[in-house]
């Protein structure tokens, strides 16, 4: 809990601006590269727009929209490079901007792997119905993900620098 009595998850973008969001990998031009709270597909990351009032990509002025998409491209490539280096079963990344649950602009970067169940491998990750994937402790972001986090950050720094 923060001093304000709220959890950083209640204001992911504000907590990122304040340096209180522990999932932040790097501040980018248009927002924050973060590692996902759930790691059932190791390397899952997101790009959070830096303004919580922006609810969709078209809500950004053209130059900021271009910057957001460029940052998304960099983060997706960083995830791809890191995951390919760490797991020979890495297959590709899927990139999604959905906005159905959280009201602020954010993009999901989902690594996909050959070890995934055959009935899920070619389907959207949202069809993973196992409650453990979405809410259980087994896949919750934890110190055991520090190496993965470091690998994605290292690749992001290479691409950004």
Mean pLDDT of 54-83: 97
Mean pLDDT of 136-150: 95
- What's the pLDDT at 104? 95
- What's the pLDDT at 46? 98
Mean pLDDT of 132-140: 91
- Reply yes or no on whether the pLDDT at 2 is more than 50: no
- Reply yes or no on whether the pLDDT at 64 is more than 50: yes
3-state secondary structure 12-48: HHHHHHCCCCCCEEEECCCEEEEECCECCCCCCEEEE
- What's the pLDDT at 110? 98
DSSP type of residue 140: B
- What's the pLDDT at 5? 57
Distance CA 37, CA 25 (A): 12
What DSSP string describes 99-136? -SSSSS-EEEEEEEETTS-HHHHTS-GGG---HHHHHS
DSSP type of residue 57: G
Is 155 buried (19+), middle (13-18) or exposed (0-12) by CB count in 10 A? buried
pLDDT (tens digit per residue) in 68-82: 999 999 999 999 999
- What's the pLDDT at 1? 39
Q: For the domain bounded by 8-160, which CATH number is listed?
A: 3.30.428.10
Least confident of 15-19, 87-91, 99-103, 116-120: 99-103
Question: Hey, what are 125's tokens?
Answer: 């990750």
Domain ranges within the chain, ordered by starting residue: 8-160
């Amino acid at each position: 809990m923060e001093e304000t009595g709220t959890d950083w998850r209640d204001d992911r973008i504000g907590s990122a601006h304040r340096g209180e969001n522990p999932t932040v990998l790097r501040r980018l031009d248009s927002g924050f590269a973060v590692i996902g709270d759930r790691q059932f597909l190791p390397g899952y990351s997101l790009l959070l727009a830096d303004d919580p009032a922006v609810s969709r990509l078209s809500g950004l002025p053209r130059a900021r929209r271009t910057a957001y998409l460029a940052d998304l491209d960099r983060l997706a490539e960083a995830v791809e490079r890191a995951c390919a280096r760490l797991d020979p079963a890495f297959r590709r990344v899927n990139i999604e901007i959905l906005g159905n649950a959280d009201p602020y602009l954010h993009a999901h970067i989902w690594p996909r792997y050959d070890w995934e169940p055959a009935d899920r491998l070619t389907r959207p990750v949202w069809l993973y119905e196992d409650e453990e994937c979405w809410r259980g402790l087994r896949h919750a972001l934890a110190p055991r993900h520090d190496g993965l986090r470091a690998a994605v950050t290292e690749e992001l720094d290479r691409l950004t620098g």
